[in-house]
Structure 1
Amino acid sequence: MGIQKIGNGLEAINFFEQGKLDELKKYCLKDVEITYKIYEHGRKFGFLKYINKWNNLKKIKVDFNQEINKAEIQMTLGG
């Protein structure tokens, strides 16, 4: 897919703390776009590829078409 992230979660925190809300918005929108593209690719083709920490290309099977048991979904971040 050739997609790269434009930052990491720690940078997002720094953007917020420094009041750089436009940069934070840009980071978040790009992150959602990438997540959606990964999801759609996995749903359509049934696999994802990634480069592991040894710089080897790996392929994993995924099934994003499974039914989700909504009773198991936690809707809050708190405990």
Structure 2
Amino acid sequence: LSLDHLAQETLNKGKSANGLKALEWFKAGEIEKLTHYCKQDVVLTRDLFLYGLEKGYLVYQNKNQNKRLRLLVDWDINKIIDGLRD
């Protein structure tokens, strides 16, 4: 499941571009556009994490059944922090 898919289905927010466009911006030296794109990815990732932390699930679209389903997540912030210390 892509970041764009999860963000659209869970948060009703999408990415501003895709990785191929980011590569074009890099090659063209358009660093401001690339930076904005990367920052937006970080914001979407954070927002998905916080949503999952609060609700215990994210939402995705099942292609075969064409319906929205919950992706259960068990993100215990204390376990995550403890894991970083190991």
- TM tier, shorter chain? 0.7 to 0.9
Corresponding residue of 1:27: 37
C-alpha distance in structure 1 between counterparts of 2:33 and 2:68, whole Å: 31
Greater Cα offset, 7-16 or 23-32: 7-16
Does residue 38 (structure 1) correspond to residue 48 (structure 2)? The answer is yes
Does residue 63 (structure 1) correspond to residue 74 (structure 2)? The answer is yes
Q: Which ranges of structure 1 fall in alignment gaps of 5 or more residues?
A: 73-79
> How does the TM-score come out when normalised to structure 2?
0.71
How many residues are aligned here? 72
Higher relative contact order (CA 8 A, sep 6+): 2
Corresponding residue of 2:57: 47
C-alpha distance in structure 2 between counterparts of 1:53 and 1:46, whole Å: 22
* Pairwise CA RMSD: 1.8
Bigger share in helix: 2
Letter aligned with residue 45 of structure 2: T
Give the Å deviation of 1:52.
Answer: 3.2
Give the Å deviation of 1:43.
Answer: 0.4
